Structure 1
């Protein structure tokens, strides 16, 4: 199978490349820095700067994960524009290229996030739930999904993956928590009651592969473990794995003062469950947060 990835040099993209190379698939990564693709993704992975470089080549699937990190910097007007263009405009470019091809892939798996729902409070959120609030992160995900959905008009099966907080030793949000927790400065954020939908990176890779090969899979899927936890319980579990106390709270007003609108990502949450994945028969390897963190602990 020939698979094209956007965002292939990111955390999930790199691990997908490793997983699919082991299965014997042919992989191409569309990147602004194609010369780095082989080093980051594997010597057998081809990097291309321009989609036109694939003219005339058969393509079986597209995995669209590209997007500037949402929580790395304050949400200034300039940063919001970059977050928007790196997702929506890039996906529009991808769709325009697919429309012009004589041969089109059977499936487009496009990224999104649990933030699609907004701050859900205590509501249990499945794929049939509507957005609860429309903050910037929610609006961004809604527009991203709506853009990707247009590929259905081209005869392409479209899967939208609403990813939770990915637990990985190689990077992601967990790596940002390690220093304060190792210094015994970690603890709950705000009142600690907000829900955190999490997923072990190995389950994230497995479910993308699962949906790639299911010809009846389409629409949105919550990519998060069946048991979300509250922020206070997450802090306690991480502290236990690192053998550190997790008692020092980060007050909400400090976050709002320092991060502005971006603080909504940390102070809000989603009690999301992967109803459609479970109904389709996907089996999570990591259902329990302590077990997931324990699996990663030797590399943290």
Structure 2
């Protein structure tokens, strides 16, 4: 078994020596450009989404977001791995290109080819497909974390001590309202106008003073009555349209009527529509006007 492995290894070495030196270097350059593209793209992909967006996507069962979030838990180690890897690859790329190119050709190769294929194109693509590419390349990045651990981890610990761990940045209420408004205005968003306005009103509840809510009470909707204990004494009602109390309730012209004491202190709220309907049109059923009364919440 060992003899077979040694023979195979010798065959590989023999084949390697038959490959021209320049070809090997160009293969190395191509590999370095691919790794430079990966690192520059991943730097943008991993940090283009904030922790809150990733947690929301992961909570929805997005496996790509879950894998991406696992690396973002130690964001400083992730960052230092990408930067150390990118710098190391670029240095190696420079050394290899200098060995086969000279003068203007080396300058053009470095500034045009490497910048285009190692920076611009991968970053443009990764920025539009951040979750997908970060998820696909997570195993390879974990390999680089293992490989670069001796230099990347100490740098990450230094950043942890200086800047602290990355946390979740939550939106302030006013910023959240702006986001909802933008979703309401956008035709392609899933939030329609009614849902958006409802959410905005709900967020605004705790910002509105009680005195700013409600409507002015019309004097015609207040009926003053004598009081017994803590309830207004409603006179006996004749279930006809000529009953004085029913006519008084109807004359207010409001859906709700305030039953107050003689000093004007509100005691009960009467559902005028329900009471009049039951008194005049449901005569086959027992009628108790107090069933249509509710205790008011009075805030001074």
Normalising by structure 1, we get a TM-score of 0.21
Higher strand residue share: 1
Normalising by structure 2, we get a TM-score of 0.21
Give the number of the structure whose alpha-carbon radius of gyration is greater. Answer: 2
Higher helix residue share: 2
